[in-house]
């Protein structure tokens, strides 16, 4: 995997890492161990900042997928208020992540004082993550998006980047974690932030929606994977089964007696047991698997219910079944 440059602040329990690139795996492990020092009763409060174009939007999306309550471009003066709200006993989000940067006019002047005051309080332990990238990479990213730099709306992007880097140096020095995203793809950056969380269940869990449907009513618009089971024996044409659904035992028994149907289910389940962990590894949060027959009442329903049982042992996924047309 592409390496990322990272610097950790010196603490009483860990020595400062030497400079230079380290792998994303080492980054995840080191940060998680540091997070383990968090005293009980405090809430996770992550503050993301850094250079414009360094990947803060992708980082905050990854944290949102991990269950963080996220706010982008929060006014600096509201940081203490947000931190206070997160400490209340009745507060629903126990993990909060915010993005603050030079888009907000008072950020450069106010943030150092506000952050030092926040760290001095005992109710939250904030983590300041600073994202940066090389000058050439930032210029290229701005060129690709065709957006002006927030500090140079009427000047060149290069001038804005140089000015922002110089002005952010004092805040960069305060950071608990400095991440260089120059050589990271969007997926690799997401993977790093997925690994920063100590909540392994949230990091690995992907919701898999098994949706049965009838082709006569159209394919579900949100389907990621679609499997057509109209090639299998149809209970609709069997007396006594037409008015039932794939959840009725008579239909289940009929399909289980058909060798082709059982072989189809076995091969489909085998494919999904192979594919689902790889979608989890990619960082996907949800996946919709659509199984379709003609009317969406018999074959697709039975197979969706059977898959839920067959895939129950797959790690890192949470299975849901929906019968759209049944």
Helices (H), the chain: 24-35, 56-65, 79-87, 107-120, 135-145, 157-174, 186-196, 200-204, 249-256, 259-282, 299-310
* 3 state DSSP class of 317: strand
pLDDT in the model for residue 42: 52
Determine the Cα–Cα distance for residues 243 and 228; give it in Å rounded to an integer: 22
* First-to-final CA distance of the chain: 45
pLDDT in the model for residue 144: 87
Determine the Cα–Cα distance for residues 284 and 292; give it in Å rounded to an integer: 23
pLDDT in the model for residue 250: 97
User: Which residue do the tokens 């995997």 mark?
Assistant: 1
Neighbours of 105 (CB within 10 A): 10
Structural domain spans, the chain: 4-203, 205-323
> Do the Cβ atoms of 244 and 251 come closer than 8 Å?
yes
Residue 99: name the closest of 65, 48, 45 by CA. Answer: 48
* 3 state DSSP class of 152: strand
Q: What is the dihedral of CA 102, 107, 108, 113, to 10 degrees?
A: -150
What residues are paired with 129 via a beta bridge? 48, 177
Give every CB contact of residue 319 below 8 A, 6+ residues apart in sequence: 208, 210, 308, 311, 312
Answer whether CATH 3.40.50.300 is correct for domain 4-203: yes
pLDDT in tens, the chain (326 residues): 333 444 444 443 333 333 333 333 334 333 433 444 444 435 678 999 999 999 898 888 888 877 888 999 899 999 998 888 877 766 566 788 999 999 888 899 999 999 998 888 877 778 899 999 999 999 998 888 888 998 988 899 999 999 999 999 999 999 988 888 888 877 777 777 766 654 444 444 788 999 999 999 999 988 999 999 999 999 999 999 999 999 999 999 999 999 999 999 999 999 999 999 998 887 677 899 999 999 999 999 999 999 999 999 999 898 999 999 98
pLDDT in the model for residue 131: 94
Determine the Cα–Cα distance for residues 18 and 22; give it in Å rounded to an integer: 9
């Amino acid at each position: 995997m592409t390496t990322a440059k990272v610097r950790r602040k010196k603490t009483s329990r860990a020595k400062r890492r030497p400079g230079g690139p380290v792998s994303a795996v080492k980054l995840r492990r080191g940060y998680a161990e540091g997070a383990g020092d968090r005293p009980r009763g405090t809430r996770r409060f992550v503050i993301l900042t850094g250079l414009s174009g360094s990947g803060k939007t992708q980082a905050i999306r990854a944290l949102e997928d991990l269950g963080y309550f996220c706010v982008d471009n929060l006014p600096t003066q509201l940081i203490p208020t947000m931190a206070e709200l997160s400490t209340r006993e009745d507060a629903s989000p126990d993990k909060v992540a915010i993005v603050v940067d030079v888009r907000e006019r008072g950020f450069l002047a106010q943030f150092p004082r506000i952050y030092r005051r926040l760290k001095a309080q005992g109710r939250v332990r904030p983590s300041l993550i600073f994202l940066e990238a090389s000058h050439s990479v930032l210029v290229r990213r701005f060129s690709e998006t065709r957006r002006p730099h927030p500090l140079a709306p009427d000047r060149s992007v290069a001038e804005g980047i140089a000015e922002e880097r110089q002005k952010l140096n004092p805040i960069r020095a305060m950071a608990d974690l400095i991440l260089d995203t120059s050589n990271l793809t969007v997926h690799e950056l997401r993977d790093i932030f997925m690994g920063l969380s100590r909540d392994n269940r949230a990091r690995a869990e992907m919701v898999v929606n098994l949706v049965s449907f009838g082709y006569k009513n159209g394919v579900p618009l949100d389907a990621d994977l679609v499997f057509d089971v109209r090639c299998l024996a149809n209970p609709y044409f069997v007396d006594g089964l037409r008015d039932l659904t794939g959840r009725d035992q008579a239909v289940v028994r009929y399909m289980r007696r058909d060798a082709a149907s059982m072989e189809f289910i076995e091969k489909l389940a085998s494919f999904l047991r192979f594919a689902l962990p790889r979608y989890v590894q990619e960082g996907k949060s949800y996946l919709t698997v659509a199984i379709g027959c003609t009317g969406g009442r018999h074959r697709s329903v039975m197979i969706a219910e059977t898959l839920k049982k067959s895939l129950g042992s797959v790690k890192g996924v949470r299975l849901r079944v929906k019968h759209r047309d049944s």
